[in-house]
Amino acid sequence: MLMRSTHPVLQFTHALPYGAVIHDQGVQFVVFSRNAASMRLLLYDNVDDAEPSEVVAFNPKTDRWGDIWSVVVPNVGPGTLYHFQADGPYNPEKGLLFDGRARLIDPYAKALAGRFLPSFDGVVRPPKCVVVDDYFDWEGDRHLRHGITETVIYEMHVRGFTRSPSSGVEFPGTYLGVIEKIPYLKSLGVSAVELMPVHEFPTGGFYGEQLRRTNYWGYDPLAFFAPHSGYAASPAPGHQVVEFKQMVKALHQAGIEVILDVVFNHTCEGNERGPTLSFKGLENQVYYMLGPGATYKNYSGCGNTVNGNHPIVREMIFHCLRHWVHNYHVDGFRFDLASILSRDRFGNLVPNPPLLEAIAEDPLLADTKIIAEAWDAAGAYQVGSFGDERWAEWNGRFRDDIRRFWRTDHGTHGAFATRLAGSSDLYETAGRPPHCSINFITSHDGFTLNDLVSYRDKHNLENGENNQDGESNNLSDNFGHEGPTNRVAVEQLRERQIKNMLATLLFSQGVPMIVFGDECRRTQRGNNNAYCQDNEISWFDWALVERNADLVRFARTLIQFRRGQPSIRRPAFLTGRPTQEGELPDLSWYSPLGTAVDWYGHDLALTCLLKAPEPDQDPEGLGRSVLLLVNATAEAREFIIPPVARGLPWRQFIDTAEAAPYDIYPQADGPRLPETGRLTVPYRSITCFVAEQ
């Protein structure tokens, strides 16, 4: 091993960004540490080297600027492999965990290479950081800037989307595999993919051992600035950077935006029993919220909590978001357990948190979408009150109320109507528009849509936690049999319920999000917490696309209708009042008899009349009036069309009780509404009519 100091001729001043910065003379390595007594840079020749080939010592007199350590190393460049190593006080009671033996990942590393190596001396040897050249020929690519009201989100896992042998792609489970499936995404009509975590995370043990349960989902960050190397087709160090950019560019060329699920609430270093990999060994008390003694506050449920509103950490998060927007052209972010970002350094929820306000106001992020999972694992639940108009939220109330309604829970028709109309109870009083509500019925966390109508209970034994993990209150039903069945009546009802929920989601005001595979009945065999299942339980089975082609057609047609129909994606809340005397209200609700709804009753059958937007809200004149007849009861019901609606030329669009192809008419040119104004709607179904233009 060689020891060297920087050459005197290179002891000049560069600007102080962070991480590894390429210059003509070499590479500048910059890292923050307030309490380190000394700092070293470890350089490696190969990704599997247990020991560095060179060690560069920072000169504390010339290589330290305040709390920033900076050194320029000559004759190195892109592809260089490195770690940091810091000496300093070890005093857990005061939050100081310096360990001069620890190999530390650069918090600003743009790529990692290799794996955790076996340890023969108790020292954790994590993947190496890679010096990355950011150049990429984007060929004029820019953010797509789709309007949020025009957005349909498809949540997906990069690996799981194409890992199954049934995918038939050349590069399964990779960024390049996603590119191969873009024609399918485009055929569905979705406008954005929301990728489950793609920043680097560990998949094995910290000492190189194979774990019985792998980290499949990726909600365990190791390096915030680095794309996950496990999703690259090429094993070359840093090549994941190129492949990720290729994926984004290809998606943009297809008109599809890229939203990243980012996890700034915790890291994989865990609690006081976890390893020192990066932040702990550089400035533990800055990067994490500490508890009494040598413990960590745990608002994430994962052992530690990132101290997001500390100025140093806040700066890092900003640099990270800007990095992904500027260098990778991503179009937005979904913030996992975002309520943690509302907590101050002591863990208290505060109004107008500096971090959230700054993200909303940041000029480089101005044309991106920012979405919050507005709760955390410590009881904070901020759905409806997270941030300002700039922030959208995963609407957990929408998920729960729609599940209850179609499960036929008593008294849920009022909540159903409120969610369909945009959740004004959550957002309007705060002056926020309907698009602040990201509507979803399923997500990666919980049952798939198929399993929601096939299981009453979770079946997580394969996770190895004695079925104790995962949510127990799923608001689900199996409709007569737990799990797969050959009973035709049960299967028909399940598919009808899937159609009902897809229709509800895509007819609701707000922004819809669909989980990958819900359009073709992807199943996780009743596992509602498949975080560790990197296998057929989680992977997209592409045989289902053909097997359930009629359902895919139904979903595709609904998505295309929504994206072309301004009536069901309003920029402002509906009022329930006419714009002029004698005209129809913009939204009105009726009982099946065509009379006023008894909102205090228990009847789960409703008529919804949605009037086409006024010309000032629909200058192209694309809007059409929509009539929804909703029957969630267990019996067929006769509906009497309200007299105010009978004068319009209605044509059938969907009937979820019908078999394909009569369940949906792509041109909304199905049968006309009966002249009698009376129509029988089958049990647990939706019939929709659209007015002719």
286 inside domain: no
Q: What pLDDT score does 352 carry?
A: 87
Work out the percent of the chain whose per-residue pLDDT is above 90: 92
The number of distinct structural domains making up the chain is: 2
∠ Cα 414 416 418 (to 5°) = 70
Identify the burial level of 137 via C-beta atoms within 10 angstroms of its C-beta, where 0-12 means exposed, 13-18 middle and 19 or more buried.
Answer: exposed
Average pLDDT, the chain: 95
Q: What pLDDT score does 621 carry?
A: 87
Residue 84 pLDDT exceeds 80: yes
Q: What pLDDT score does 647 carry?
A: 86
What's the pLDDT tens digit per position in 328-382?
Answer: 999 999 999 999 999 998 999 998 899 999 999 999 999 999 999 999 999 999 9
Residue 304 pLDDT exceeds 70: yes
| Distance between CA atoms of residues 505 and 518, nearest Å | 12
Confidence band, pLDDT 50/70/90 cuts, at residue 2: low
602 inside domain: no
497 inside domain: yes
3-state secondary structure of 184: helix
Q: What pLDDT score does 616 carry?
A: 83
412 shares a domain with 504:
yes
Q: What pLDDT score does 227 carry?
A: 98
Q: What pLDDT score does 10 carry?
A: 45
123 shares a domain with 175:
no
Residue 200 pLDDT exceeds 50: yes
| Distance between CA atoms of residues 38 and 331, nearest Å | 40
- CATH number for the domain including 120? 2.60.40.10
**Residues 434-457, mean pLDDT to the nearest whole number:** 98
188 shares a domain with 90:
no
Residue 13 pLDDT exceeds 90: no
What's the pLDDT tens digit per position in 581-612?
Answer: 778 899 999 999 999 999 999 999 999 999 99
**197 alpha-carbon distance from chain centroid:** 8
Q: What pLDDT score does 4 carry?
A: 56
For residue 657, what are its two tokens? 């009780």
Nearby residues of 531 by Cβ (< 8 Å), 6 or more positions away: 215, 216, 217, 219, 463
In terms of Cα–Cα distance, which of 258, 254, 282 is closest to 269?
282
What count of other Cβ atoms lies within 10 Å of the Cβ of residue 237?
Answer: 25
For residue 292, what are its two tokens? 């009494």
123 shares a domain with 213:
no
**Residues 167-185, mean pLDDT to the nearest whole number:** 98
Confidence band, pLDDT 50/70/90 cuts, at residue 3: low
Among 541, 567, 593, where does a domain finish? 567
Helix (H) or strand (E) holding 194: strand 192-195
635 inside domain: no
Q: Does a cis peptide bond (omega within 30 degrees of 0) precede residue 512? A: no
Single pTM value for the model: 0.96
Residues belonging to the active site: 336, 373
Residue 11 pLDDT exceeds 70: no
Q: What pLDDT score does 7 carry?
A: 42
What count of other Cβ atoms lies within 10 Å of the Cβ of residue 57?
Answer: 16
Confidence band, pLDDT 50/70/90 cuts, at residue 484: very high
What's the pLDDT tens digit per position in 531-558?
Answer: 999 999 999 999 999 999 999 999 999 9
**461 alpha-carbon distance from chain centroid:** 26
197 shares a domain with 78:
no
| Distance between CA atoms of residues 105 and 114, nearest Å | 13
Among 543, 567, 591, where does a domain finish? 567
| Distance between CA atoms of residues 191 and 154, nearest Å | 8
**Residues 316-339, mean pLDDT to the nearest whole number:** 97
Identify the burial level of 67 via C-beta atoms within 10 angstroms of its C-beta, where 0-12 means exposed, 13-18 middle and 19 or more buried.
Answer: middle
166 shares a domain with 58:
no
Pairing mode, strands 38-44 and 81-87: antiparallel
Residue 369 sits at φ, ψ, to 5 deg, of -95, 135
- CATH number for the domain including 467? 3.20.20.80
| Distance between CA atoms of residues 302 and 467, nearest Å | 19
Residue 69 pLDDT exceeds 60: yes
104 shares a domain with 238:
no
207 shares a domain with 110:
no
632 inside domain: no
Cβ-contact 219, 443 below 8 angstroms: no
Pairing mode, strands 90-91 and 257-262: unpaired
Among 509, 535, 567, where does a domain finish? 567
Q: What pLDDT score does 9 carry?
A: 37
* Domain ranges, residue 226: 149-266+300-567
169 shares a domain with 96:
no
288 inside domain: no
37 inside domain: yes
What's the pLDDT tens digit per position in 383-414?
Answer: 999 988 999 999 999 999 999 999 999 999 99
| Distance between CA atoms of residues 269 and 580, nearest Å | 61
Strand order in the sheet with 112-113: 2-4, 54-57, 38-44, 81-87, 128-130, 112-113
676 inside domain: no
496 shares a domain with 440:
yes
| Distance between CA atoms of residues 222 and 224, nearest Å | 7
For residue 169, what are its two tokens? 């792609």
For residue 113, what are its two tokens? 């290479």
| Distance between CA atoms of residues 271 and 304, nearest Å | 5
418 shares a domain with 329:
yes
464 shares a domain with 388:
yes
Which 3-state string (H, E, C) describes 250-268? HHHHCCCEEEEEECCCCCC
